[in-house]
Amino acid sequence: MTRAQSSAPAGRLPTRASGLLLGLGLGGFVDGIVLHQILQWHHMVSSVKSTPMTTLAGLESNTLADGVFHVASWLLTLAGILTALVAWRQGRIAPSWSFQIGLVLAGWGMFDLVEGIVDHQILGVHHVRDDLGAPLSWDIGFLVFGGLLVACGWLLHRRGLHALGEVRGRPLGP
C-alpha cells in the first residue's frame, strides 16, 4: 500500500476530472477523425487564406496542423487516464457507468462548444463545412450539438452521482 492509499479516507467519491478530460480528448478525436479525415469537411486551418486546401503547400500545412491537434487530443485523453489512476490509488471508489459516461459526454460537449466558439467564430481558422464555403448553419448546429452533449451528459452524471450516494448509504447534495 502506498502512502497516498494509506492516508486517504476510504470510499471517497470518484474524481470528475478524469471523465471530463477523457471527454475533451475523445471529442477532439471524433472531430479530427470524422470531420477532418473521413468526411474531409475541413482541416485545422482550412479557412486561413495562406493555407488553402486546394494547393499542395496548403494541404501540407493543414495536415501538420491536424497532427498537432491530434497530439493535443491524445494528451487530454492520456491526462484523463492518468487522473483516474491517481484517484484510484488515493482510495477513491470507482465511478458508476452513468457517473463516468455522463462526464465523458459533458467533456465532449465542452470541447465542441470551445471549438465552435473559438476556432469557428472568434478566430475563424475553419468552419464545420469549409467544403461548402462555411455556411453558418453548420457552425450553429455544431454548437447546439455541443450544448446538448453537455446537458445530457451532466444529467446522466447527476444520476450516477445520486446512485453512488445511495450505495455509500447517504444521499449526496446537488
* Percentage with pLDDT > 70 across the chain: 88
CA-to-CA distance for 149 and 8, rounded, in angstroms?
Answer: 33
CA-to-CA distance for 159 and 124, rounded, in angstroms?
Answer: 37
Distances (CA, A) of 52 to 28, 31, 69: 22, 20, 18
State the first-to-last Cα distance of the chain, in angstroms, to the nearest integer: 33
Q: What is the pTM for the complete model shown?
A: 0.86
Give the tens place of pLDDT for each residue, 39-75: 999 999 998 999 988 899 999 999 999 999 999 999 9
Answer whether residue 8 shows pLDDT above 60: no
* Positive/negative CA dihedral, 116, 122, 127, 132: positive
Instruction: Provide the grid cell at 78.
Output: 492520456
pLDDT, averaged across the chain: 89
